[in-house]
Structure 1
Amino acid sequence: MQVAVIGLGAMGMGAALSCLRAGLAVTGCDFSETARDSFAGAGGQVAASADAIAPGTQAVLLLVVNAAQTEAALFGPAGCTKRLAPGAVIIASATMGPDDARRLAARAEAAGFLYLDAPVSGGAAKAATGEMTVMASGSPAAFAKAKPVLDAVATKVWELGEAPGIGATVKVVHQLLAGVHIAVAAEAMSLGIRAGADPQKLYDVVTSAAGNSWMFENRMARVLEGDDAPRSAVDIFVKDLGLVAQMARGLDHPVPLASQAQQLFTAASAMGHGRADDGFVIRVWQALTGIALPGENQKREKPKG
Structure 2
Amino acid sequence: MSTNSTAAPQGRIGVVGLGAMGRGMAGSLRRAGYEVHVCDVRAEAAQAFAAEGGVACATPAELAARCEVVVSVVVNAAQTEAVLFGEGGAAAAMQPGSLFVMCSTVDPNVSIALEARLEAMGLLYLDAPISGGAARAAAGQMTMMTAGRPQAYAKAGGSLEAMAAQVYRLGDRAGNGSKVKIINQLLAGVHIAAAAEAMALGLREGVDAAALYEVITHSAGNSWMFENRMAHVLAADYTPLSAVDIFVKDLGLVLDTARASKFPLPLASTAHQMFMQASTAGFGREDDAAVIKIFPGITLPQRP
TM-score range, shorter chain: over 0.9
For 1:222-301, list aligned pairs within 5 A.
222-285=232-295, 288-289=296-297, 291-296=298-303
Identify the match of residue 193 of structure 2 among 180, 183, 189: 183
Residue 152 of structure 1 pairs with residue 162 of structure 2: yes
Is structure 2 residue 124 aligned with structure 1 residue 114? yes
- Answer yes or no: is the 8 Å Cα contact 2:21–2:133 preserved in 1: yes
1:165-244 alignment, distance < 5 Å: 165-244=175-254
Q: Which residue of 2 aligns with 1:57?
A: 67
1:119-134 superposed matches below 5 A = 119-134=129-144
Deviation (angstroms), 1:236: 0.4
Pairwise mapping of residues 81-100 of structure 1 onto structure 2 (< 5 A)?
81-100=91-110
Question: Could you say what the CA RMSD is over the residues aligned between the two structures, in angstroms?
Answer: 1.2
Q: State the alpha-carbon separation in 2 of the partners of residues 292 and 128 from structure 1.
A: 34
Aligned amino acid, residue 293 of structure 1: L
User: In 1, Cα distance between the equivalents of 2:200 and 2:159?
Assistant: 42
Structure 1 residue runs of 4+, over 4 Å off?
A: none
Q: Which has the higher contact order (CA 8 A, sep 6+)?
A: 2
How many angstroms apart in 1 are the aligned matches of 2:166 and 2:84?
A: 26
Determine if contact 2:16/2:39 at 8 Å carries over to the other structure: yes
Number of residues of Structure 1 aligned to a counterpart in Structure 2? 294
Tell me the CA shift for residue 18 of structure 1.
1.0
**Distance in 2 between residues matched to 1:62 and 1:257, nearest whole Å:** 31
TM-score normalised to structure 2 length:
0.94
Task: After TM superposition, give the deviation of residue 296 of structure 1 in Å.
Answer: 4.1
Percent pairwise identity = 52
Stretches of structure 1 that go unaligned for 5 or more consecutive residues are 298-305
Provide the C-alpha distance between the structure 2 equivalents of 1:54 and 1:96, rounded to a whole number of angstroms.
Answer: 22
Unmatched segments (≥5 aa) in structure 2: 1-10
Provide the residue aligned with 2:8 in structure 1.
none
Which TM-score applies when normalising by structure 1? 0.93
Contact 2:64 2:90 in 1 (8 A): no
Kindly provide the CA deviation profile for residues 74-93 of structure 1, in whole angstroms up to 9, marking residues without a partner as x.
Answer: 12232112332321111101
Q: What is residue 36 of structure 2 aligned with on the other side? A: 26
Q: Alignment partner of 2:68: what SS?
A: strand
Write the distance in 2 (CA, Å) between the matches of 1:233 and 1:90: 26
- The counterpart of 2:21, out of the listed 5, 8, 11, is 11
Q: Provide the residue aligned with 2:113 in structure 1.
A: 103
